[in-house]
A and B are shown apart, each in its own frame.
Chain A
Amino acid sequence: MAKILIVEDEKSINELMMRNLSLVGHECDQVYDGKNAVNMIKNNNYDLVLLDVMLPFLSGFELMKFLDHIPVIFVTAKDELNDKLKGLTLGAEDYIVKPFEMLELIARVGVVLRRYKKETKEFSLGDTKVYHDKRYVEYQNQEVDLTPQEYELLEVLIRNQNIALSRDKLLELAWGFDYEGDTRTVDVHIQKLRKKLGWENYIKTINKLGYRLEK
């Protein structure tokens, strides 16, 4: 769970980003122009800033000067190589182009936070505690023995908590793009996790959509 500042002048998109990121556990502040962004940054400690390039009063690029040491992800409609390069050379961690999918946003935010070691160290739900940095899982204070694949799946569920993930998506995220196996292995692993972590009520099966870890 991280503290994120969302700087986007389009209210609907700002709101959308806030909701998506809140779902997976981040705390978000919202501003709609450059001036307010600068103020908020001065008065708060953010782990990450999501920045729209085309802002009134101050372009996203210019705002970068005020953002030393804080990781920034640019969000914009401009798809050109020039703009991407400009953004990245100015020190942005990543550059995401509209329209984007929720999972993509969440994933990129997660990647940047991990890079800067700003992700939370632990996750608790029910009787289970997960220690991300140590890759150690406890159920009812006892260590749980998970296979590497089960652990991967667990991480994916936690990172995308409250969001329904299809079997294909789970396969892609936890097993990798190259995996050519059957989606049934997803079902099997989900069952195992439910059992081992006592999460029968937390990992919900969503009809026609997939699975969702609900916190």
Chain B
Amino acid sequence: MKFWQKIYLVTLIIILIFLNGGIYLVFQITYQKNIETEQKRAESDYTITKNAIQKDMQALEQRGELNDTVIVSLFETYEQFYSKYNLSFQLWKGEQQIYSNVADSDVKKETPKTGNKVEIHTINHMKYIYVTEEISGLVYQYNLVYVRPLTELNEIWSQLNLIFVIASVSISVLLAIVLFLLFQHFTVPIGKLSDAANRFAEGNYKERVHIPGKDEIAELAGNFNNMASEIELKISEITLETEKKQIFIDNLAHELKTPLTSIYGYAEYMQKAKISEEDRNVSLEYMMHESKRLKNLAYALLDLALIRNDKIEFEELDTSSLLNSALRTVELKMEEKKIQVVKELSTSHIKGNKNLLESLLVNLLMNAACACEIGGEINIQISGNQDYDNRMIEITDNGIGMNEDELKRIMEPFYRVDKARSRENGGAGLGLALCKQIVEVHKGHINYYSQPKEGTSVVVEIWV
């Protein structure tokens, strides 16, 4: 059974019980009160009547005229008067009934007890009040019984009973219907939410729920929507990451397999083929070149991996020696192309990891050198603000430059602007991806500016 149906049934049953129970209780209490009122009235009526009769009977006895016949005619006189009020009497002398104008149908079968003065008796579905008392001041024991049927009470109450039943039933039915519709209506939003969650789980990450209002369900809906948006975002992030990873792996596969093919291929060629001495030399040349390429790739990959995993240590470094160390590594290339190097160092110290920063400089300088023509110029600026902890490294060359599309992609792993030229140098294509990692570890950013045919400028800012 559904939740709302459960609540509905429980609520309905409770309301009906309390409602009907309450009304019934009120009825009962009112009825009791009515009866009490009747009793009191009966009692006072009786007292007046009894006093009158008592006086008369006492007078008669004083005169010595009290006998059964006289009593009967006395009562007959009263009877005329009281029959208008639907009252009946009985007079008992001891155990014997001397007078009675009580209709047979109204008669209670036992002799009156002098214990309970006022009694209510139900005879043949009608209620009667019986009041009994001894007439005092007489020689014999005379008991006067007063009987009154509670006709109005009976009528009114049977009508009321009927009305009660009808009203109760119709209210109950009405209540059941209205409550049913109401509960169903209120739980509609829950159903909406449930459906939305289902569709979302099936893969429709754009699914959202619209529930107006400010109650708990509307709040739940709002929270659901927030959660959905977060998840959608995360999923697209993850998907993007996965795609990037796949591309990285594809490129890596290519970069690994190609030199391997060459090395193995030339070795096999030399072993099995009928070739000349010159062929042999060419083959060996290729094998060595490709081996070197693999070596570079391996080192670059290791660097990348280490940066991601290791705890990096930072220290204060002398700017000048750091730069000179890097320049020594690219010395050959610089000389080969007769490149002018201009240094502008306006800060004596720079804080960072020695190996990483050196790697960074070597990579950037190497790229600048490769981009330059013969006789080109590279400008290196390292500056910092003594008040703040940041340092800027700016390397500018007047080489071949890059266009916008190329600029966007240079930091992608394995991307090269000019593949042929890069391979000549044995480059793996990971240099700038590496630089990016290094700069990030130093909590900085790296930006490229370039104009085709005019040159390129790299600006690195680090905050350590």
Contacts and interface: CB of A to CB of B under 8 A. Distances in A.
Given A12-B289, A23-B273, A79-B253, 10 more contacts: A12-B262, A15-B282, A15-B286, A20-B273, A98-B261, A99-B264, A101-B265, A101-B268, A102-B273, A209-B272
27 contacts: A9-B420, A10-B262, A11-B420, A12-B259, A12-B286, A12-B289, A13-B258, A13-B262, A16-B261, A16-B265, A20-B265, A23-B273, A56-B419, A77-B253, A77-B254, A77-B256, A77-B257, A78-B250, A78-B253, A78-B254, A79-B253, A99-B264, A100-B261, A102-B269, A102-B273, A163-B274, A164-B271
Contacts of B258: 10, 13, 77, 98
Nearest to B258: A10
User: Which interface residue of A16, A101, A214 has the most chain B CB atoms within 10 A?
Assistant: A16
Contacts of A13: 258, 261-262, 265
A23 B289 contact: no
A54 interface: yes
Contacts of A16: 261-262, 265-266, 269, 286
A15 B275 CA distance: 14
Interface of A: 9-13, 15-16, 19-20, 23, 32, 54, 56, 77-79, 98-102, 162-165, 206, 209, 212, 214
B253 A102 contact: no
Contacts of B259: 12
A130 B100 CA distance: 156
Contacts of B295: none
A100 B265 CA distance: 8
Interface in B208-252: 250
A176 B74 CA distance: 149
A93 B269 CA distance: 25
A32 B290 contact: no
B65 interface: no
A102 to B, nearest CB: 5
Nearest to B293: A12
B443 to A, nearest CB: 36
B266 to A, nearest CB: 6
Interface of B: 250, 253-254, 256-262, 264-266, 268-269, 271-275, 279, 282, 286, 289-290, 419-420, 423
Contacts of B289: 12
Contacts of A9: 419-420
A32 B197 CA distance: 54
A100 B260 CA distance: 10
Contact of A162 (B262, B274, B286): B274
Given A12-B286, A19-B279, A23-B274, A102 B268 contact: yes
B394 to A, nearest CB: 31
A21 B256 CA distance: 24
A139 to B, nearest CB: 23
A98 B271 contact: no
Sort A-B residue pairs by CB-CB distance and give the 8 closest, nearest first.
A99-B261, A164-B272, A77-B257, A12-B262, A77-B254, A98-B261, A16-B265, A98-B257
A10 B250 CA distance: 16
A32 B257 contact: no
